[in-house]
Structure formats: C-alpha cells, structure tokens
Amino acid sequence: MTDIQAAEARAKAARERLSSTINQLQYRLKPSTLAQGAIDTATESAKSIALKGATEVRNRPVAAAAVAGAIGLFLSRGWISRTLAKRKKATNDGETDPPRAG
C-alpha cells in the first residue's frame, strides 16, 4: 500500500467515524429523545423521593402525623376562620347555643 492509499484509507475511516458521531448527535438531540430522557429522569426522581418519604414515615410516624396535621390545618384555614367568625357573630348577636342534653 502506498502512502497515498494509506492516507485515503485513514481519511475514509475518519469520515465514517465523523458520520457515526453526527448520527449519534442527531439521535440524542431529537426532541422526542430529549423529552423521553426528561420523563425517565423525573420518574426515577419521583420514585426515589416517594421511597425516602415512605421510609421516613415508617421511622418517624409521630413527626409525619404532625406534618400531615399542620398541612391539613393550613389547607382548611379559610373554613376554620369562617366557622369561628360565624360563632363569634352569633354570640355577639345574643344567640346562644341550644341547651345540650347531658
């Protein structure tokens, strides 16, 4: 093989490697491939967080119940506020609760 033939063979191999690299980049940069990668990553993250959360709840049930209660109170704060306001208004208007059987 002459020097020219060897250079042509190296150039051909280099072109094939470059073409392969370009094809790989095109595949990796396709929107559907990127979206699927993001979905896979998010799914794995959610699974990991859920597993860690479940483990912590098993290890610290009182703390978990306290957090759940605090979240419940936070989410129902409007209802609680309205209920207390109605009760206060009823008390100020002279209304009393009916006698309780006891």
- Residue 17 within any structural domain of the chain: yes
pLDDT at residue 25 greater than cutoff 70: yes
Q: How many domains does the chain have?
A: 2
Does residue 101 form part of some domain? Answer: no
Question: For the whole prediction, is pTM greater than 0.75?
Answer: no
Does 43 lie in the same domain as 9?
A: yes
Q: Does the pLDDT at position 20 exceed 60? A: yes
User: 47 or 88: whose pLDDT is higher?
Assistant: 47
- Same domain (yes/no): 45, 67: no
Rounded CA gap, 69 and 71, in Å?
Answer: 5
One domain for residues 37 and 50: yes
Range of the domain at 71: 61-92
Q: Do 2 and 39 fall within a single domain?
A: yes
